[in-house]
Amino acid sequence: MENTLQQILYVASAVVFAVACRSFDHRFIQKLGWFALLGASYLAGYFLTGGQHLGGLVCVSFWFMLPWLEIIFRVRRLRFPIKSEIKHRFPPSREVFPELGDLSGEAEDAGFTEVGDTGWQWSQTDHFMRLFYHAEKRIQASVALAQQGDFGFSYVSLTSRTKDGITCTTTNYPFAATMKHSPKQQLNRYTHAASFEDLLERHEDFLRSQGITTEELALQDTEYLHAYIERDMSAQIDHNITAGVIEPTGNGEFRYSWRGCLFLYWQVVKDMLRV
């Protein structure tokens, strides 16, 4: 009995330590919390199977099996529109998107001009986006909110388009891409941006690393920023149909193929290991 209580305390201590680490706003401490949670799972399996390492490994593997079950039993059944109409939207309430005002102010402080609010719906997810443009730098900015039921998250993206059709985007979008990017779509994820200015500096560094100068960037008509986004989305969908990640189902919709399910799973696992 005493040994059992000691084992419970070991597991509980690891869980408390993991939760405490995950509450910190520091990527390395949060990562330590994730490893502590895996450790707690291993200890639970190890103790429940009477000291078998295999039992601990099985418990750890459950964390990596859950995303796969979610993908094959829910995501594969979803249907998405091949063509999404991006149109004017009224901004969400302050209760739904409290960061909108502050992020918009940071964009304007960085020299961007607000262009308008837009958005679209994709299956069960509603997307809102406020667009900005910096004429001198030739960079489009978007402050966005993705919402599905009671769950939602915000992110900021900066996009530059070259005269020969290359699109370069830097974003703090918190999750891995759900589809492959076409050869002309270059993505730079910077999930730990401290501010809009920080993200902008990283985007300009990204352009320099690609050997792209301001003179090579195309001027964008601010009246058609939403149309550029719609065009980028269509190009990405077409590329993924060709790559076999998604497949048309008729009625102007598509779903993830089994190859696409494997792609999604690998993306999730990479994010789990990265976090």
Query: What is the model's pTM?
Result: 0.82
Q: What pLDDT, on the 0 to 100 scale, is given for residue 148? A: 82
Find, among 198, 197, 190, the residue nearest to 174 by Cα: 190
Q: What pLDDT, on the 0 to 100 scale, is given for residue 27? A: 65
158: left (phi over 0), alpha (psi -120 to 50) or beta: beta
Tokens of 71: 């993908």
Taking CA atoms, 266 is separated from 8, 190, 270, in Å, by 33, 19, 6
227-249 b/e with 16+ CB inside 10 Å = b? ebbbebbebbbebbbeeebbeee
Q: What pLDDT, on the 0 to 100 scale, is given for residue 85? A: 83
CA 199 – CA 26 distance, rounded (Å): 17
Q: What pLDDT, on the 0 to 100 scale, is given for residue 30? A: 73
Q: What is the DSSP letter of 84?
A: -
CA 159 – CA 30 distance, rounded (Å): 29
Q: Which residue has the tokens 């199977």?
A: 49
Splitting the chain (275 residues) into consecutive groups of 10 residues, what average pLDDT does each group show?
68 74 70 74 76 78 86 90 86 91 96 94 85 96 89 93 94 90 92 92 96 93 90 93 94 93 91 71
Please give the span between the terminal C-alpha atoms of the chain, in angstroms, as a whole number: 37
Taking CA atoms, 186 is separated from 146, 166, 210, 235, 243, in Å, by 21, 7, 9, 13, 17
List the chain domain ranges.
2-73, 80-244
Instruction: Determine the distance from the C-alpha atom of residue 172 to the mean position of all C-alpha atoms in its chain, rounded to a whole number.
Output: 8
Q: What pLDDT, on the 0 to 100 scale, is given for residue 275? A: 60
DSSP string, 161-204: EBTTS-EEEEE--SS--SSPPPTTEEEEE-TT--SHHHHHHHHH
Q: 69 Cβ partners below 8 Å, 6+ apart?
A: none
Q: What pLDDT, on the 0 to 100 scale, is given for residue 154? A: 93
Query: Is 169 within 8 Å of 189 (Cβ atoms)?
Result: no
Q: What pLDDT, on the 0 to 100 scale, is given for residue 19? A: 75
143-161 b/e with 16+ CB inside 10 Å = b? bbbbbeeeeeebbbbbbbb
